[in-house]
Amino acid sequence: MSAGPPRLLLVTPDLPPARGGIQALMGGLLGAIERFAVRVVALDSPGARDHDRDAGWRVLRVPTHARLGPARNLALNAAALAAAVRFRADVALHAHIVTSPAAIATTRLLGAPHMVIYHANEIVGKPRLAAFASRRAGATMAVSGYTERLLLEAGGTSERLHRISPGVTLPDTVRRAGGERPTILTIARLADAYKGHDVLLEALPAIRARVPDVRWVIVGDGPLRPSLEAHARAAGLTDAVSFLGAVGDEERDAWLDRASVFAMPSRLPGAGLAGEGFGIVFLEAAAHGLPVVAGDVGGAVDAVSAGETGLLVDPTDAAALAEAICSLLLDPGRARSLGEAGAARARSFAWPAVAARVEDVLLDLIAARPGRGGA
């Protein structure tokens, strides 16, 4: 191992300032890792150079173009292998199975062990690659029990498999500011139908019948927005639904403080997708003291403690969803109790604690490397 702190190469196709669950996971880890000298290889994204500079990250950004499609992963793998050699990495952390070829090649070439992170959708979409990468990794990390089951069902190995949930950035204080109207909040990109916006739209008239001044605030943008807006107009719900589009972190946090209930009834989508591998947004809502209503499937079962920090319902049942949301809007005491429990639970998912667990696994990999004091 090199003098000074061990050298960690982190390889990921997804990294802030781009948004998404994997991006949030990688950004949170990078901000909290303390025991390694870190270099990052990631695909480029708009605004990345300024973001990396402001964050103080040392990142090699691999240029990409939409027309390349999956071929962009070939460039990412090549850049990762070259960076591992230049950096003389002691260990590597790969955030997605698409870079497992570089991970395996790095281990063979340098003897540096590697860990691969599993999320969910990639296992269903590429089961053979998921299993192959699992069997050849020094360690694997599943972000939830659901993800772990998917990997094992695909043929991955349970040996050296660690279940480590993503973390959350805790607000300085939990401020339940409240609002002038009972407010349901959903934060998600409008790109995946399984997030459940359609079912919540179906449930909204029943909610409105019991809570007439309710409003639903939707943060996020994407190709599904026009059809959802048309649905809201056709149902006569335009005065109760606000599509805010993509917003900055400060405005998002203000809505988390102001809302009454966070709801995102994600379902299992099928068709080569797995749905929520975990659902960091549920933790973000909980960290702000907001009670959560989620689907009782996928990674949400790990992210939400049923009956303690929120309610889990059949995500395809609009009537059950309406009942769950109304039960919180009409019982502020219960909503407050769930929100307070959620904020307390979120503290155990703070990024420093999550990063420390990941670092422990990586350090064990280095220690077990032949000739390095562990074997």
Q: What is the pLDDT of residue 180?
A: 76
Q: What is the pLDDT of residue 81?
A: 96
What Å distances lie between residue 76 and 32, 81, 207, 208, 227, CA to CA? 24, 9, 47, 49, 35
Question: In the structure, what pLDDT confidence band is assigned to residue 235 with cuts at 50, 70 and 90?
Answer: very high
The backbone torsions φ and ψ at residue 234, rounded to the nearest 5 degrees and listed phi first, read: -65, -30
pLDDT cut 90: percent of the chain above it: 89
Q: Mean pLDDT over residues 12-39, rounded?
A: 94
Q: What is the pLDDT of residue 174?
A: 72
**CATH superfamily of domain region 7-167+350-367:** Glycogen Phosphorylase B; (3.40.50.2000)
SS3 letters across the chain: CCCCCCEEEEEECCCCCCCCHHHHHHHHHHHHCCCCEEEEEEECCCCHHHHHHHHCCCEEEECCCHHHHHHHHHHHHHHHHHHHHHHCCCEEEECCHHHHHHHHHHHHHHCCCEEEEECCHHHHHCHHHHHHHHHHCCEEEECCHHHHHHHHHCCCCCCCEEECCCCECCCCCCCCCCCCCCEEEEECCCCCHHHCHHHHHHHHHHHHHHCCCCEEEEEECCCCHHHHHHHHHHCCCCCCEEEEECCCHHHHHHHHHHCCEEEECCCCCECCECCCCCCHHHHHHHHCCCCEEEECCCCHHHHCCECCCEEEECCCCHHHHHHHHHHHHCCHHHHHHHHHHHHHHHHHHEHHHHHHHHHHHHHHHHHCCCCCCCC
Q: How far apart are CA 256 and CA 264, in angstroms?
A: 13
Q: What is the pLDDT of residue 375?
A: 36
Q: How far apart are CA 230 and CA 49, in angstroms?
A: 37
Tell me which residue of 283, 287, 280, 342 sits closest to 310, measured CA to CA: 342
Q: What residue has token string 């019982």?
A: 331
CB burial readout 265-304, b (16+ within 10 A) else e? bbbbbeeeebbbbbbbbbbbbbbbbbbbbbbbbbbbbbbb
pLDDT tens digits for range 39-59: 999 999 999 999 999 999 999
Q: What is the pLDDT of residue 223?
A: 97
pLDDT tens digits for range 106-145: 999 999 999 999 999 999 999 999 999 999 999 999 999 9
Q: What is the pLDDT of residue 176?
A: 66
Task: Report cis status (omega within 30 of 0) of the bond before 17.
Answer: yes
pLDDT tens digits for range 92-109: 999 999 999 999 999 999
Question: In the structure, what pLDDT confidence band is assigned to residue 361 with cuts at 50, 70 and 90?
Answer: very high
158-160-165-170 Cα dihedral, nearest 10 degrees: 170
pLDDT tens digits for range 237-294: 999 999 999 999 899 999 999 999 999 999 998 777 788 999 999 999 999 999 999 9
Question: In the structure, what pLDDT confidence band is assigned to residue 15 with cuts at 50, 70 and 90?
Answer: very high
Domain boundaries, the chain: 7-167+350-367, 183-348
Q: What is the pLDDT of residue 355?
A: 98
Strand order across the beta sheet in which 310-313 lies = 241-245, 215-219, 183-187, 261-264, 292-295, 310-313
Contact 218, 243 (CB under 8 A): yes
CB burial readout 346-371, b (16+ within 10 A) else e? beebbbeebbeebbebbbbbbeebee
Number of C-beta neighbours around residue 33 at 10 A: 20
Q: What is the pLDDT of residue 242?
A: 97
Q: What is the pLDDT of residue 139?
A: 98
Fold of the 183-348 domain: Rossmann fold (3.40.50)
Say if residue 189's pLDDT is above 70: yes
Same fold, 7-167+350-367 and 183-348: yes
Say if residue 374's pLDDT is above 50: no
Give every CB contact of residue 371 below 8 A, 6+ residues apart in sequence: none
